Amino acid sequence: MMVEGNERKVQNKLRLRLYRRAVNDAFLKLKPRRMLRNPVMFVVEVGSLLTTALWVQALTGHGETPAWFVGAITLWLWFTVLFANFSEALAEGRGKAQAEALRKTRKETQAKKLASLPVDGHKPVNFTLTASTLLHQDDLFLVEAGDILPADGEVVVGIASVDESAVTGESAPVIRESGGDRSAVTGGTRLLSDWLVVRVSADPGHGFLDRMISLVEGAKRTKTPNEIALDILLASFTIIFLVVCMTLLPFSLFSVRTAGQGAPITITVLVALLVCLIPTTIGGLLSAIGIAGMDRLIQRNVIALSGRAVEAAGDVDVLLLDKTGTITLGNRQAVEFLPVGGVTELELAEAAQLASLADETPEGRSIVVLAKEKHNLRGRIVSASPEYPEGMHFIPFSAQTRMSGVDFDHTRIRKGAPDTMLAFMETAGKSAPADLRSLIDRIARSGGTPLVVTHNDVPLGVIHLKDIVKGGLNERFSQLRRMGIKTVMITGDNPLTAAAIAAEAGVDDFLAQATPENKLRLIRQYQGEGRLVAMTGDGTNDAPALAQADVAVAMNTGTQPAREAANMIDLESNPTKLIEIVEIGKQLLMTRGALTTFSIANDVAKYFAIIPAAFASTYPQLGVLNFMRLATPESAILSAVIFNALIIVALIPLALKGVPYRAVGASQLFRDNLLIYGLGGLVAPFLGIKMIDLLLIALRLV
């Protein structure tokens, strides 16, 4: 309890600091040059400056309206600008805090630079100590247990466990080794065991950590196409209202002349009207929405290398998912022993168990487990024993033989993939019996993987390895289907196996016997039809397809080429993350759309508040339009301005959290959001302005 309380206190303190800094930044952002990036809020700032000047003039006694009124309007106009700045600063704040934490890990370290590659893969002993900032691409360095990796790179020699929590936040150590798909290491992480020789892949200042810092800070944030399109729409609304308000002055002068009474509309009221009409709600929150969207990705441990990719994620029509790790659990499991000829199941199980005892792969272990479960076969002593005086000699799996097994006591047990084993038997002069072939076929057809076991080159039977489809995927895929997204499973399996798994998992389509070439071809084909394709990958052979895909997520554990080809990196290396990324992309657009609708719908009420008030002295009859029965012209205009400023603050949480996305069709989403933000936007200001008006009167402020 105590600990929890303390933690909360720390968190509150952190949050307080975040807010304090955001308030500070809100003032710093008032610089006109910065404000120019946001045309809507720039207009508000210019308006505020104008009314400030009018207020000073009113204080000297020559003003167009009482000084208190101009002063109050001016104050709230400045608040409008500051609230918008505050929302942006708050959105940036979290990223900045994270960037600071990252910067701390990017301390300058000493690198053990090597002159050349070590011979025979032995740990090198001769190195020179150099500052990490002096390491350049293609340099080699050595890291040992306890060292911090001085730069990004690719493991050339060795295997070691690495603590990557500085980058991923994940405290469990990960294995990094040369070759294969787990060879990339990141500067700033710490080696926990063993040693590695690494080739530098990025010059100082351009490493992964550096890129990440600038991304989370939002320093290099550029507007995305969609944001630009919306900006144009908002700017054009602003121009229209500028014209509306500017022409209102001559209209008013003419009306005063023709009505023969009243005073023309004041500049203060015109500025107030303008600020109320231009879409300040969405204009003020637009950049916060974008930053918060990126931030939501970072919280899910995904680094988006471009905002464009996040938006594209919302548009994705086709998801290419790797079978292994995404759709199925990473490993296949033995589920059956199927003997052939006169062999009993027990004999087969015994042989299979023996062949797998030293096999540390998940498949191998699952065979031992199955043998124990089904036939109560225990593990045996591997070294010399009374039973096998010469001990067992294990043959590990190798790329050349493509099989594994065990030799003992003139016995040769082998297991391997069917085509390898059939070829192996053929060379030994044995032919495969027909029932073996039909068994192999049956297993493959059901989506399983057959392993043939032989005893002295005579087939005993087949082990049925099965892919285990992850739970809950079917539901996920049908959810995606409802969102209009097609799922395609990519696998190296043969078409039969692939079809069976695809059917079990509920994907829409599959690509079997995938190669880098046909993956690329598939993506291009979808894109040619005008579809947007997303995929995940980790291996080097995924790199071309990742580069071609519109949204490409690389696993952080993946190889350097894969990480470079992708436009997002998943630090947790969780392949199903893609689905969440799609949702975040959609949320981003939805939040913008919802707030735009809300902002424009607000204008109706503001017109009804301000127009009767602005012309009260010329045409008192327009008071009929004052549905809200606002007390005085001054209170009406002030209430509208105050509402306009406060609504920005009220909507900051929504802008930061995003409009919730539900996987329903577009029609229903549209209807729901239109009801909430369209109708809500129409009604809310009527209530809000009236309430503020009542409050102003009750407090005798007007």
Partner 1 sequence: MTLVGWLQIVIFFGLLLLVVKPLGAYMARVYGGERTFLTPILRPVERLVFRLAGVKAEEEMDWKRYTLAVLAFSLVGVFFLYILQRVQHLLPLNPMGFGPVAPDLALNTAVSFVTNTNWQAYGGETTMSFLTQMMGLTVQNFLSAAAGMAVLMALIRAFTRHQASTVGNFWVDLTRGTLYIFLPLSFLLALTLVASGVVQTLAPSAVATTLQGGEQVIALGPAASQVAIKHLGTNGGGFFNANAAHPFENPTPLTNLLLMLAETAIPVALTYTFGRMVGNTRQGWAILAAMLVLMVGFTALAYSAEAAGNPRLAALGVNQTASALQPGGNMEGKELRFGIAPSATFATITTGTSSGAINSTHDSFTPLGGLIPLVMMQLGEVAPGGVGSGLYGMLVFVLIAVFVAGLMVGRTPEYLGKKIEPFEMKMAALIILIMPIVVLGLTALAVSLDTARASISNPGPHGFSQVLYAFTSQGNNNGSAFAGLNVNTPFYNLTGALAMFISRFWLIIPTLALAGSLAAKKKVPIGVGTLPTTTPLFIAWLIVVIIIVGALNFLPALALGPVIEHLIMAGV
Segment interacting with partner 1 (CB under 8 A) among 10-18, 90-98, 221-229, 499-507:
221-229
- What is d(CA 665, CA 483) in angstroms, rounded to the nearest whole number? 6
With binding defined as CB under 8 A, does residue 485 bind partner 1? yes
Q: Based on CB atoms, which residue is closest to partner 1, 191 or 601? A: 601
Q: Which of 26, 81, 230, 302 binds partner 1 (CB under 8 A)?
A: 230
Question: Which residues lie closer than 8 Å to 322 by C-beta, 6 or more apart?
Answer: 489, 490, 491, 536, 537, 575
Q: Based on CB atoms, which residue is closest to partner 1, 235 or 500? A: 235
With binding defined as CB under 8 A, does residue 615 bind partner 1? yes
Q: Are 318 and 488 in contact (CB under 8 A)?
A: yes
Q: Based on CB atoms, which residue is closest to partner 1, 123 or 671? A: 671
Which tokens hold the place of 69? 């009124």
- State in angstroms the smallest separation of the CB of 480 from partner 1: 10
Amino acid sitting at position 656: L
With binding defined as CB under 8 A, does residue 15 bind partner 1? no
Footprint (CB under 8 A) of partner 1, residues 564-593: 585-590, 592-593
With binding defined as CB under 8 A, does residue 482 bind partner 1? yes
Report the 10 Å Cβ neighbour count for 249: 14
- State in angstroms the smallest separation of the CB of 477 from partner 1: 14
Segment interacting with partner 1 (CB under 8 A) among 45-53, 170-178, 207-215, 237-245:
237-245
561, 567, 571, 572 alpha-carbon torsion, rounded to 10°? -100
With binding defined as CB under 8 A, does residue 294 bind partner 1? no
Q: Are 586 and 661 in contact (CB under 8 A)?
A: yes
Footprint (CB under 8 A) of partner 1, residues 645-664: 661
521, 523, 527, 529 alpha-carbon torsion, rounded to 10°? 70
Q: Which pairing describes strands 533-537 and 110-114: parallel, antiparallel, or unpaired?
A: unpaired
With binding defined as CB under 8 A, does residue 271 bind partner 1? no
Q: Based on CB atoms, which residue is closest to partner 1, 116 or 258? A: 258
Q: Based on CB atoms, which residue is closest to partner 1, 49 or 622? A: 622
Q: Which of 246, 428, 691, 701 binds partner 1 (CB under 8 A)?
A: 246
With binding defined as CB under 8 A, does residue 229 bind partner 1? yes
Q: Which of 18, 298, 458, 604 binds partner 1 (CB under 8 A)?
A: 604
Q: Are 571 and 555 in contact (CB under 8 A)?
A: no
Q: Based on CB atoms, which residue is closest to partner 1, 337 or 643? A: 643
- What is d(CA 268, CA 692) in angstroms, rounded to the nearest whole number? 20
Q: Is 181 noted as a catalytic residue in this protein?
A: no
Q: Which of 483, 549, 609, 645 binds partner 1 (CB under 8 A)?
A: 483
With binding defined as CB under 8 A, does residue 217 bind partner 1? no
- What is d(CA 439, CA 432) in angstroms, rounded to the nearest whole number? 11
Q: Is 420 helix (H, G, I), strand (E, B) or coil?
A: helix
Segment interacting with partner 1 (CB under 8 A) among 193-201, 246-254, 515-523, 646-654:
246-254
| Element spanning 218, H or E | none
With binding defined as CB under 8 A, does residue 228 bind partner 1? yes
Q: How many helices (H) does the chain have, and how many strands (E)? A: 23, 22
- State in angstroms the smallest separation of the CB of 82 from partner 1: 26
Q: Based on CB atoms, which residue is closest to partner 1, 242 or 346? A: 242
Crossing angle of helices 577-614 and 633-657, in 10° steps, is 180
Q: Which of 619, 631, 649, 650 binds partner 1 (CB under 8 A)?
A: 619
Segment interacting with partner 1 (CB under 8 A) among 71-79, 197-205, 620-628, 647-655:
620-628
Question: What DSSP state is assigned to residue 403?
Answer: E
Segment interacting with partner 1 (CB under 8 A) among 212-220, 239-247, 441-449, 544-552:
239-247
Contact letters (x/-) for partner 1, 296-325, by CB under 8 A? ---------------x--xx-x--------
Report the 10 Å Cβ neighbour count for 360: 9
Q: Are 558 and 244 in contact (CB under 8 A)?
A: no
Which tokens hold the place of 454? 């032989």
With binding defined as CB under 8 A, does residue 603 bind partner 1? yes
Q: Based on CB atoms, which residue is closest to partner 1, 300 or 531? A: 531
With binding defined as CB under 8 A, does residue 489 bind partner 1? no
Q: Which listed residue (295, 322, 359, 493) is catalytic?
A: 322
- State in angstroms the smallest separation of the CB of 584 from partner 1: 10
DSSP characters over 37-105: TSHHHHHHHHHHHHHHHHHHHHHTT--SS-HHHHHHHHHHHHHHHHHHHHHHHHHHHHHHHHHHHHHHH
Amino acid sitting at position 56: V
Footprint (CB under 8 A) of partner 1, residues 100-139: none
Total chain residues near partner 1 (CB under 8 A): 75
Q: Are 592 and 579 in contact (CB under 8 A)?
A: no
With binding defined as CB under 8 A, does residue 476 bind partner 1? no
Segment interacting with partner 1 (CB under 8 A) among 327-335, 373-381, 478-486, 498-506:
478-486
With binding defined as CB under 8 A, does residue 625 bind partner 1? yes
Contact letters (x/-) for partner 1, 196-215, by CB under 8 A? --------------------
Q: Which of 59, 131, 175, 232 binds partner 1 (CB under 8 A)?
A: 232
With binding defined as CB under 8 A, does residue 602 bind partner 1? no
- What is d(CA 432, CA 488) in angstroms, rounded to the nearest whole number? 36
Paired strand residues for 144: 195
Question: Which residues lie closer than 8 Å to 598 by C-beta, 6 or more apart?
Answer: 281, 282, 651, 677, 678, 680, 681, 684
With binding defined as CB under 8 A, does residue 286 bind partner 1? no
Q: Based on CB atoms, which residue is closest to partner 1, 392 or 641? A: 641
Q: Based on CB atoms, which residue is closest to partner 1, 282 or 327? A: 282
With binding defined as CB under 8 A, does residue 243 bind partner 1? yes
Footprint (CB under 8 A) of partner 1, residues 494-553: 529-531
With binding defined as CB under 8 A, does residue 277 bind partner 1? yes
With binding defined as CB under 8 A, does residue 226 bind partner 1? yes
CA angle 473, 479, 482 (to 5 degrees): 145
Q: Where do the H-state alpha helices sit in 413-531?
A: 418-427, 434-445, 473-483, 495-505, 516-528
Counting Cα atoms < 13 Å in the Cβ hemisphere of 415 gives: 30
Counting Cα atoms < 13 Å in the Cβ hemisphere of 596 gives: 19
Amino acid sitting at position 231: D
Q: Based on CB atoms, which residue is closest to partner 1, 168 or 618? A: 618
- What is d(CA 74, CA 86) in angstroms, rounded to the nearest whole number? 18
Active site (catalytic) residues? 322
